[in-house]
Amino acid sequence: MLRTAVDEKSGELLTCAVLAERVGWAVDLVSGMVGALTTEHWNSADVDRLACGVDAGGRRLPSNAWMALRRLGWTAAPPEGIKVNDRIVRMAQEAAGRTLRSAKWRADLTAAILATWPADPNTRTAKEWEQVRAAAPGGQFLPSSVIKSRTRQAAAFTTEHGRLAADVFELEPPPRAARILLLSACDAQQATIERAGDDSRRALLRLQLPTRPDPRAYADWTWVACPITLPPTIPPSAVLHLPTVRIHGAQARADLAFTLPVPKTQRTGHTVALGVDWGLNTLLSAGALRLHSDGQITALGAGGQFRAAGVLAKQHRLRRLSERLHAKIDHYQRLIDGRAPDPALAANHTLLSQEIQRVCARRSNLNDALSWAAARWAVDQAIAAGAGVIYLEDLRSMEAKGMGRTHNTRMSQQVRGQITDRMRHLAAETGIAVVSVPARNTSKHCPHCLTPLRHRKAPDRPTVAGWKWAICPNPSCGWQGDRDMGAWRRIAARGLAHQATTAIDRASATMLIRTIVDKLETKAVLVATTTISRSDRSKTGSTRHRPTRPAPRRRRAPSPTSPQGSAGKRPEGHAPTDRARLPRAAHRNQDVTTISTPTTGHRPRGAALGAGFHLHAHAPLHGGHNPRQTPCLTWDRSADQRRCKYEKWRSGQSILLRPRVPPLIGDSTARLVQ
């Protein structure tokens, strides 16, 4: 965040709000030109001309979008009477060129779908699927869900207008211009950035900003110096690049880019791999496998799970709140359209619109935090296991069928795309490759024998709905466990077996395994590791020396020092005072009137628990004291065990306990006869 700045011309200190206002004026000028330029060239001919890569003279177009647009003669101009420098026009052309270039793939895919329009848009035959994949760019490896979504888009247009659309530019309006300043398209005449000389954690960003929303002359543009405190994620040796400045609420933020050398990721030759499986409630399940020189694959540990139940629950609550707010605002819009202007309805409509924006911002922040946390956890698991590659389940072709609208919505609104991008970003810093693996049958087959599993309810949660537990019906295998924990084993084993077929996508520069080879799939099985039985007590070496306990359990509370005066001294070993919960006997009333049912052959436990006296103390059956019924109380204090032994009277009917007389202190064994 750009917190403060200094106007170099006037020397005025700009606050955060003033700086955001001036950045917003520049952003409005740039976004206006971007919108006009994109709308003007939002057609099939211009997009194809830009994507062909050559100009009218046959020369190759530059890679920078703003230079390519200038070579083609596509210029942008500010509104009449507004004065901007050439670098502001560059930023507008760069943003518009990137948008038009990204529309080429969608245009080709939509054209292929429209050219091979099926007889029934809801269900394609096998021959129709072959036709659309042959016509679409990269259709052989294109997920079917992408083709279906574009088909539904064209079918909706056909239902509304009674005819097929001509191209994607008729299906979609021109996209909105992003409110950003692409300073990377500028040079030192518009913006500069450099580190502080003696402090590697600070940098200085200088850029020209307008002093008014409608600058009429170059004098209305002044240099502004913005000190930036670099986050600790940017190493001191990194090379800083000009950032992208944007408005976030009432603040100006700079998305800073930097370059630093990192280890090169390897496509093949991995021996330790981390498998990651997606889940609906348990977001990630991951674990490591090792590929041995003889081709066997073994597991390194039991794996772990990234559970974000609280965050996901909050995410679903915000989603339901957003749906209710949208339903309300649609109702208010129908009321406003169907009657005369009503200030009360308009005010409620505006209030709901603002609330929807706040809810959307909360959902965006929550998804961003969740994606970074999940990606960081997965990369840390790979680093701890010493893995050189992360095999990630590819769910682009996953479709939730027959689960209901709510379940499908939850599946579609997961942040898997953000987690994958952030995982690749964090893994690249340590030279760990992230490879997408096909998800077919990863939860269906046993990781040890590839037998189809039988899914049951979890044994520890029999009342929870779902089929989380998997059991292998093969008698010679008998593996069972959580289906997600078995899935990451299948994903990692499949990746290690198919790593020779790993390809690099030219468009996104990401690594992926496109198809599954049956011959290699038979090798993607785990070999059970040899474990030592818990009942095996055979000696494998010398017995480890175990030092004796310095004091019995009852002597944890040391004997206090002798108090001043005639007060007695507390015997060593009574109920400790350093723990919150006292033993069971210490909670009883240890008075002379304490009565309990006598038990034949009962072993006293009060002293062993640290209470000091017997658990059951019986008063005489009669009310008065009889000298002939005087019990004998023996205190036996040995070095390793302390017990209180009570000797009953000859009749064995009652015991009189009168602890008013303190025991003898000083001797290891004291006998008190009362």
pLDDT in tens, 241-265: 999 999 988 899 999 999 988 888 9
pLDDT at residue number 73:
92
Tell whether the torsion through CA atoms of 429, 430, 431 and 436 is positive or negative: negative
pLDDT at residue number 422:
93
Q: Residue 625: which pLDDT band, with cuts at 50, 70 and 90?
A: very low
For the segment 34-50, the average pLDDT, to the nearest whole number, is 94
pLDDT at 506 over 70: yes
- Enumerate the CATH 3.30.420.10 domain ranges in the chain, comma separated: 272-309+372-521
pLDDT at 608 over 50: no
pLDDT at residue number 552:
52
Exposure string over 382-413, b if 16+ CB within 10 A, otherwise e: beebebbbbbbbbbbeeeeeeeeeeeeebbee
pLDDT at residue number 469:
87
Return the top range by mean pLDDT from 206-210, 545-549, 561-565.
206-210
DSSP letter for each residue of 378-412: HHHHHHHHT-SEEEEEE-TT----SS-HHHHHHHH
**Length of the chain (residues):** 674
Residue 615 DSSP one-character state:
S
pLDDT at residue number 594:
47
pLDDT at 630 over 60: no
Token reading at 266: 């390897």
Q: CA–CA separation, 108 vs 99, rounded Å?
A: 15
56-110 pLDDT, tens digit each: 888 999 999 999 999 999 999 999 999 999 999 999 999 999 999 999 999 999 9
For the segment 198-205, the average pLDDT, to the nearest whole number, is 86
Instruction: Name beta bridge partners: 258.
Output: 240
Q: CA–CA separation, 291 vs 496, rounded Å?
A: 7
Q: Residue 571: which pLDDT band, with cuts at 50, 70 and 90?
A: low
Residue showing tokens 């006009």 = 36
pLDDT at residue number 246:
93
272-309+372-521, what's its fold? Nucleotidyltransferase; domain 5 (3.30.420)
pLDDT at 383 over 80: yes
Token reading at 253: 């933020």
Q: What percent of the chain shows pLDDT beyond 90?
A: 49
109-128 pLDDT, tens digit each: 999 999 999 999 988 999 99
**Which residue, among 367, 466, 482, 364, has the nearest Cα to 416 in the 3D structure?**
367
| Averaged pLDDT score across all residues of the chain | 81
Distances (CA, A) of 655 to 38, 415, 595, 607, 623: 101, 73, 10, 17, 13
Q: CA–CA separation, 397 vs 380, rounded Å?
A: 28
